[in-house]
Structure 1
């Protein structure tokens, strides 16, 4: 069952959104529904699902088992703010 939802948004946001959906051939309602489904369905399943892009990129970088990322980051910050 479809139900009407009223959203209050800035005019320029609505204009950009309408332009975007017309360029990809879908409706603004479908985009908003997909967005809310993505937020809420992940919570219902009790497990967070990453986006396809994040899934594609995960595992690309292989680090040593004893790599200390905190020390590396601290060193980076030391150099940056010398």
Structure 2
């Protein structure tokens, strides 16, 4: 179900958005909807702000290939089988 949303933006941006929509054969509403869908998607992986402390720390701790390729449930299962057998 669609819901109406009113935005207040600079006139120059509004004009550019209308030209873009016309050029792409769509509407400003569709452009905004697609943008917001992408930004709010749960599948989108969070990334820290470039240059932030978090961004600098990200990747500073080495992660084994096993952790990169498996989720925690698979790793637990593998270790339990190793310890207790089939």
CA RMSD of aligned residues (A): 1.9
The aligned runs of 1:11-50 (5 Å cut-off) are 11-41=11-41, 44-45=42-43, 47-48=45-46
- In the aligned structure 2, how far is the partner of 1:20 from the partner of 1:3? 22
Unaligned runs of 5+ in 1: 49-82
Q: 1:46 to 1:28 in 2, by over 3 A?
A: closer
- In the aligned structure 2, how far is the partner of 1:22 from the partner of 1:8? 20
Structure 2 counterpart of 1:9: 9
Considering only CA atoms, is the larger Rg found in Structure 1 or Structure 2? 2
Q: 1:46 to 1:25 in 2, by over 3 A?
A: closer
TM-score calculated relative to the size of structure 2: 0.50
CA displacement, residues 18-64 of structure 1 (integer Å, 9 cap, x when unaligned): 011101100111100000000111xx23635xxxxxxxxxxxxxxxx
Unaligned runs of 5+ in 2: 47-86
